[in-house]
């Protein structure tokens, strides 16, 4: 039986393979991108499924480019 391979580029895959946990409620965190339209930048955040808190991932803000 052939193995299934993930053909996405590394840049398209966000987050980690191990589920991260919220330090406040122990809920699972999901990666999401927040965009500031006035400044034209986006940042990566982790949001908790359980309590809704958002944690900054520590990445520098990235410029948003219109396609």
pLDDT digits (tens, 9 = 90+) for 27-42: 888 888 888 888 889 9
Which pTM was predicted?
0.57
Indicate whether 54 belongs to any domain: yes
Q: Is 27 among the domain residues?
A: yes
DSSP-based three-state secondary structure for 46: strand
Is residue 1 situated within a structural domain?
A: no
Report the alpha-carbon distance of residue 64 to residue 46 in Å, rounded: 19
- Give the pLDDT score at 21: 85
**Residue 43, domain member (yes or no):** yes
**Structural domain count of the chain:** 1
Asked if pLDDT for residue 10 goes beyond 80, the answer is no
pLDDT in tens, 40-56: 899 888 899 999 888 88
Residue 58 lies in a domain: yes
User: Considering the domain boundaries, does residue 8 fall inside one?
Assistant: no
In a domain, 4, yes or no: no
- Residue numbers of the domain that contains 35: 21-63
Alpha-carbon distance values, 59 to 1, 21, 47, 65 (Å): 40, 18, 15, 17
* 9 pLDDT more than 50: no
Dihedral sign, Cα of residue 11, residue 66, residue 43, residue 19: negative
The alpha-carbon radius of gyration of the chain (Å, integer) is 15
- Specify if 3 maps to a domain: no
């Amino acid at each position: 039986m052939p193995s299934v391979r993930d053909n996405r580029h590394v840049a398209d895959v966000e987050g980690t393979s191990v589920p991260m946990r919220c330090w406040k409620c122990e809920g699972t965190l999901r990666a999401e991108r927040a965009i500031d339209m006035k400044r034209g930048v986006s940042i990566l955040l982790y949001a908790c499924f359980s309590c809704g808190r958002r944690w900054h991932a520590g990445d520098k803000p990235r410029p948003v480019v219109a396609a």
